[in-house]
Amino acid sequence: MKEHPILFTGEMVKAILEGRKTQTRRVIKPQPFDVAQSRRLDNDGLLPTMENPHTPKYIKCPYGKPGDVLWVRESFIPCTPGHQSCKIRDATYVCYRDGTQKDKASGNVAPWQGPATAKWKKGYHKFSPSIHMPRWASRISLTVTDVRVERVQDISSDDARAEGIGDENEWLPCPACGGAGVHGAFGEGYSVTEVDCSTCNTPRKAFRVLWDSINADRGFGWAENPWAWAVTFERIEE
């Protein structure tokens, strides 16, 4: 069993804490060569690909394999006694965006204490980027239960919900398209082309918006349909 850090936004951290998020998809870098279909990793946690017919190439998943642990990095404020923000090397506890804090010595997580809450609400404290969070400051650990490799557009509605997209009651079948999310439209030469339904909203569409907000500017948007690590996990209750 190995441990691997993983970054999540504040909204996704909230979804994990609420039990709504049990999957995450991350772009594979570099994009694999000649992967014919979605697949799971081999027993060594490697994705076998073929750059040419005689030269096998393997890509290792940076998020591990089933049985490994992910520790979550999120934005935070390093603090010292008296609720003074400080450099991380001097911190005795850290505070999170949802109004909780973790003590370095005991590892206990509790609501913010004293005047810090009011200062946080007024924006007096500056949050450090999640990439700078050390291991001791992480409050969420996840056990990897499955790792697949698939095109991002292959995500199902159930998997989109597992990504933390909305609540099942929000996705009632659309009266216009029956929940398919698309309509058939006749084009030139009477061929049928699927077009997005303008009436409904679906988990997959909501995930597409989320995906593009993170990856489109980096050249890995939904339209490019990149290969992605699809990681399923369970939260470790501490």
- Name the residue ranges covered by the structural domains of the chain: 3-71+141-170+207-235, 75-137
pLDDT exceeds cutoff 90 at 194: no
pLDDT cut 90: percent of the chain above it: 47
Is it true that domain 3-71+141-170+207-235 has CATH number 2.30.130?
yes
- Residue 65 near residue 47 (C-beta atoms within 8 A): no
Report, as an integer, the average pLDDT of 171-199: 58
Task: Write the CA distances from 140 to 85, 135, 136, 198, 223, integer angstroms.
Answer: 22, 10, 11, 38, 32
pLDDT of residue 169: 45
pLDDT exceeds cutoff 90 at 54: no
pLDDT exceeds cutoff 60 at 172: no
DSSP class per residue in 139-186 = --EEEEEEEEEEEGGG--HHHHHHBT-S-GGG-PPPTTTTTSSEEEEE
Report, as an integer, the average pLDDT of 70-86: 87
Total length of the chain: 238
For residues 218 and 139, what is the distance between their CA atoms, to the nearest angstrom? 29
Question: 120-171: per-residue pLDDT in tens?
Answer: 555 556 789 999 999 999 999 999 999 988 899 999 989 999 999 865 445 4
pLDDT exceeds cutoff 70 at 188: no
For residues 119 and 102, what is the distance between their CA atoms, to the nearest angstrom? 17
Report, as an integer, the average pLDDT of 102-106: 94
pLDDT cut 70: percent of the chain above it: 68
Report, as an integer, the average pLDDT of 192-215: 76
CA–centroid distance for 109 within its chain: 23
Report, as an integer, the average pLDDT of 223-235: 94
pLDDT exceeds cutoff 80 at 80: yes
pLDDT of residue 41: 65
Report, as an integer, the average pLDDT of 58-77: 92
pLDDT exceeds cutoff 60 at 185: no
pLDDT exceeds cutoff 60 at 98: yes
pLDDT exceeds cutoff 70 at 219: yes
pLDDT exceeds cutoff 70 at 14: yes
Torsion, CA 14, CA 20, CA 25, CA 26, rounded to 10: 10
Question: 106-123: per-residue pLDDT in tens?
Answer: 999 998 765 555 555 555
φ, ψ dihedrals at 48, nearest 5°: -80, 130
